[in-house]
Amino acid sequence: MCRRFTVPYLCLAGFIFFFSITSFSQTDLSGNISSWKTLFPKEDVIAYSYKETVSFSLNEIPKPGEGNVRAKVINELTIVPVKDFIKYEDGLFYYDEMTIDNVKAINPKGKDIIIQKLCGSYKDDDIFHSDSKYCSVKFPLEEKGKSFTYRYEENYRDVKYLTSFYFHSHMPVVERIIEFNIPSWLETDLREFNFKGGNIEKTSVKEGDITRITFTFKNLPSFHREPSSPNHALSFPHIICVNKAYTQNGQRKILFESVKDLYGWYSTVCADIGNIPGELKDRVAGLTAGKKTDMEKIESIFYWVQDNIRYIAFENGIMGFKPDAAQNVLKNKYGDCKGKANLLKEMLKLSGYDARLTWIGTSDLPYDYTLPSLAVDNHMICTVILNGKKYFLDGTEPFIALNDYAQRIQGKQVLIEDGKNYILDRIPDFPAERNKIKRVSRISVDNDVLKGTASMEYNGESKTMLQSVYTSMRSEDKTTALSDFLKRGDNNIVVSTVQSPEFKERQKPITVNYEFKANNQVKKVANEIYVVMDWDKEFSGLEFDADRKNDYEFNYKYNYNIQTELVVPDGYKVDYIPASFKKSTPQYSFEGSYTNKGKSVLYNKTIVVNKPILLKSEFDSWNAFVKEINNFYNDQVVLVKQQ
């Protein structure tokens, strides 16, 4: 992911407050505290009301960087502490195209109080430099139940940057209102996302020249990030404000009415990148020399960019949308997704291929290009059209093969440049089989340990992830790191004789062969041996508490295929093998079995997770699935001495 409307903006919309035209009277709300404590347990502060009021104005003489239409969002919040004398803390985001003004807090006596404000750049580990700023705002609250008013304004100098409105906040809200005051000269489309089941009331009233559209949501719990939460755009209700056109002096002027307009703006921004292809020639010639087929040449360029151009993102101002020139990226050997896509395009064009810049929203975003908004995408790749087939090249995806696509872009719609026109297409969506992890091992009992050999095969995401982690390790730590990876954190496993995998062939799986010892998996009692044949027990611990607030996102679609053969020791026979188990749903499945082959026991297990996101509503059935899996896991093979 590499463009402006990723973290800061979404956070802004998610956390910031608003304003209201009428002043709020200060009230003692201590009578509500006991009911709020029940409704919103573990919270220290409640927003009794939280209103965003959006208004628009024409900018008759826009200065550079300003649009013809401006927007103001006024935030007003009535904050009520449910504990005595705590400090209220908030974070406000802003950037070049949007300022935060008139931040105010009013105490229960109606007096303005001093706000501690600490502002600076917003730090995101994935972005080297951006214009996103962050203000930490703090002020003390008084006794519980006494309300404070907190206000501020967001001013957009160009309405195209006004996009998402989220209802949830970092604290619970008793009444959440988002109000749009749309003048008759403006054509605005308010697109609703994830509204289903949200019980959001919508009203529309025309007052003179203004149409007032109000969304009201009551008793909202706070938003909390939890490990493996999907991006909140995927599950939390929100509105995207699409400003299609405005009329000025009797003339109708288009803003973002359709994807055509969005593409038009992107094209304008990318029109003056300033590429100098001549400066890439030597490098391209070197990379394609000796390569016979088109695929070999494209692969050579694509892989070189993956391996040699470091990902460093700049997102200041227009650079959030405009790629750096190809020759700069080549010279610096760093760039962000746009820089890498543009470099790929120019290098491939020099080699004679039809390569194009391509916009895409990753799997973090639930939109497609029926939404003409800057919020629709957050990433850029390069598309090569060869013999009528499109190949999508993501220069930021390390170690991925040509014609293979990372989970995060699979199935997503793409907007491909085509001169004055554009092409819409879609990245192929692969089944979980693409990410198959296959292990074939053979084990035997050696006193109180299991000794064995194993061959692991990694494909798709599991392969690129392994390679990325391995490559990022310090050289001197690589061997230990690989052993630890194969052990999967199990201290009972001792890995030895690892054959270093071959990482160069991107089109092939990575295979790792090794020997191992498994301690504490064998129990000998009298003439019996109890053997645990599966100690990895994938997913056995992945159960969800009722407390979890968010959906769960798996790293990727999983496909495990495990085969283990246990050699029955001389003088013993198989006394007991666990019963087989099979469970299959469209989203996930498990199949496990033990087979007595006389001199050996063969264990087979296949687990498939087809869908990368598990919804909260699916947690109960998933937990039941895990319980059944555990029932299967918690059974062991018994060998008995032959009489």
Partner 1 sequence: MRQIVFCCLLFLINTAGNLLKAQPPSVGETIEPEFSVVAVPDKWSKESAVVIGQKTEYIFTRLASGKKYTTVVRILEYIHKRIKIQDKNAQEKFSTFYYVTMGKDGKAEYRIIKANGKRVDIDMKNAIEEENDIPAIYKPIYYRLGIKYFKIAIPDLEVGDIIDYNLRSTINWDMRENGIGFTPFIFSLSNTYSTMYQQYRFVMANGMKVKFRGFNGASNLKMDSKASVFGEKESYVAYYMLDKDREKTTEERWSYELRNTPSVKFRVIMLADNDPDSKELGMATVDRTFIDIDDVYKRYVGAALYRTTTVNTLVAYTTEYIAKKKAEGLLKNDDDVIRECYYCLRKVFLEMYYKGPVHSELEKYMTGKKLYKKILKQQEKEEQKKEEREDEIRINNVVFATSLRTALASQGIQSELFVYMPRRLGAWRDAVFLDELDFVMKVKSKRKNYFIEAFNNFDAFASAYSYLEGVEGYSIGYDEPNKYYKTPGPVSTYQDNISRKDYSMRFTDAMDIINIERISLFTGHEKSEMVGIANLERGYLNKDFEKYYNPPGQKGKKKKEDEVIDITTSTGYDNPDREEKLKERKELMEKDIKKEFDLEKYSEFELLDNGRYGDTATLKYKETFSLKKMISRAGRNFIFDAGKLIGGQIKLEEKELLERQTDIWLSNARTIENNITIDIPAGYTVEGLQELNMSVDNESGAFISTAKAEGDKLIISTRKLYKKNFDKKDLWPNYVAFLEAGYKFSQAKIVLKKK
CB of 340 to partner 1, least distance (A): 14
Helix axes 294-308, 337-350, angle to 10 degrees: 150
Cβ-proximal residues to 495 (8 Å cutoff; 6+ apart), any chain: 483, 486, 487, 514, 515, 516
CB of 312 to partner 1, least distance (A): 5
Q: Is 132 helix (H, G, I), strand (E, B) or coil?
A: coil
Cα separation, 359 vs 423, whole angstroms: 11
Verify binding: residue 476, partner 1, rule CB under 8 A.
Answer: yes
CB of 448 to partner 1, least distance (A): 8
Q: Which is nearer to partner 1, 596 or 610 (CB)?
A: 596
Q: Which is nearer to partner 1, 86 or 254 (CB)?
A: 86
Q: Which amino acid is at 549?
A: K
Nearest by Cα to 147 from 43, 47, 35, 218: 47
Other beta carbons within 10 angstroms of residue 78's beta carbon come to: 24
Residues 540-559 that bind partner 1 (CB under 8 A): 540-541
Q: Which is nearer to partner 1, 64 or 541 (CB)?
A: 541
CA 577, distance to chain mean position in Å, is 42
Residues 35-74 that bind partner 1 (CB under 8 A): 37, 41-42
Cβ-proximal residues to 109 (8 Å cutoff; 6+ apart), any chain: 26
Q: Which is nearer to partner 1, 370 or 472 (CB)?
A: 472
Residues 299-358 that bind partner 1 (CB under 8 A): 308, 310, 312, 331-334
Quick one: which of 121, 199, 421, 621 contacts partner 1 (CB under 8 A)?
121
Binding mask 513-542 for partner 1 (x = CB under 8 A): ------xx--xxxx---x-x-------xx-
Q: Which is nearer to partner 1, 207 or 545 (CB)?
A: 545
CB of 638 to partner 1, least distance (A): 5
CB of 640 to partner 1, least distance (A): 10
Q: Which is nearer to partner 1, 308 or 584 (CB)?
A: 308
CB of 139 to partner 1, least distance (A): 12
Cα separation, 598 vs 579, whole angstroms: 17
Parallel, antiparallel or unpaired: strands 334-335 and 310-311: parallel
What single string gives the DSSP state of each residue in 160-228? GG--EEE---SS-EEEEEEEEEEETTEEEEEEEES-TTS--EEEEEEETTEEEEEEEEEEEPPP---TT
> Which stretch in 178-186, 210-218, 401-409, 490-498 sits in contact with partner 1 by CB under 8 A?
490-498
> Which stretch in 104-112, 220-228, 491-499, 549-557 sits in contact with partner 1 by CB under 8 A?
491-499
Q: Which is nearer to partner 1, 165 or 632 (CB)?
A: 632
Quick one: which of 63, 109, 111, 123 contacts partner 1 (CB under 8 A)?
123
Contacts for 479-488: CB closer than 8 Å, 24+ residues apart: 482/512, 483/514, 486/454, 486/456, 486/512, 486/514, 486/516, 488/536
Verify binding: residue 473, partner 1, rule CB under 8 A.
Answer: yes
> Which stretch in 201-209, 276-284, 371-379, 488-496 sits in contact with partner 1 by CB under 8 A?
488-496
CB of 364 to partner 1, least distance (A): 24
Cα separation, 284 vs 347, whole angstroms: 6
Q: Which is nearer to partner 1, 175 or 536 (CB)?
A: 536
Residues 570-609 that bind partner 1 (CB under 8 A): 575-576, 578
Q: Which is nearer to partner 1, 471 or 555 (CB)?
A: 471
Q: Which is nearer to partner 1, 56 or 134 (CB)?
A: 134
Residues 617-636 that bind partner 1 (CB under 8 A): 630, 633-636
Quick one: which of 491, 497, 617, 643 contacts partner 1 (CB under 8 A)?
491
Cβ-proximal residues to 319 (8 Å cutoff; 6+ apart), any chain: none
Q: Which is nearer to partner 1, 44 or 418 (CB)?
A: 44
Q: Which is nearer to partner 1, 347 or 637 (CB)?
A: 637
Q: Which is nearer to partner 1, 42 or 225 (CB)?
A: 42
CB of 54 to partner 1, least distance (A): 30
DSSP 4: S
**With contact defined as beta carbons under 8 Å apart, do 499 and 513 qualify?**
yes
**With contact defined as beta carbons under 8 Å apart, do 116 and 103 qualify?**
no
Verify binding: residue 498, partner 1, rule CB under 8 A.
Answer: no
Verify binding: residue 471, partner 1, rule CB under 8 A.
Answer: yes
Cα separation, 59 vs 465, whole angstroms: 49
Structure token pair of residue 152: 């501020």
Verify binding: residue 83, partner 1, rule CB under 8 A.
Answer: yes
The string over 347-378, giving b where at least 16 C-beta atoms fall within 10 Å of a residue's C-beta and e elsewhere, is bbbbbebebbbbbbbbbbbebbbebbbbbbbb
617 burial via Cβ count (<10 Å: 0-12, 13-18, 19+):
exposed
Q: Tokens 């050999």 belong to which residue?
A: 453
Verify binding: residue 31, partner 1, rule CB under 8 A.
Answer: no
CA torsion sign, 331 to 334 to 338 to 344?
positive
Residues 398-457 that bind partner 1 (CB under 8 A): none
Q: How many residues bind partner 1 (CB under 8 A)?
A: 51
Q: Could you list the residues that contact partner 1 (CB under 8 A)?
A: 37, 41-42, 83-87, 120-121, 123, 128-129, 140, 142, 308, 310, 312, 331-334, 471-476, 491-492, 494, 519-520, 523-526, 530, 532, 540-541, 575-576, 578, 630, 633-638
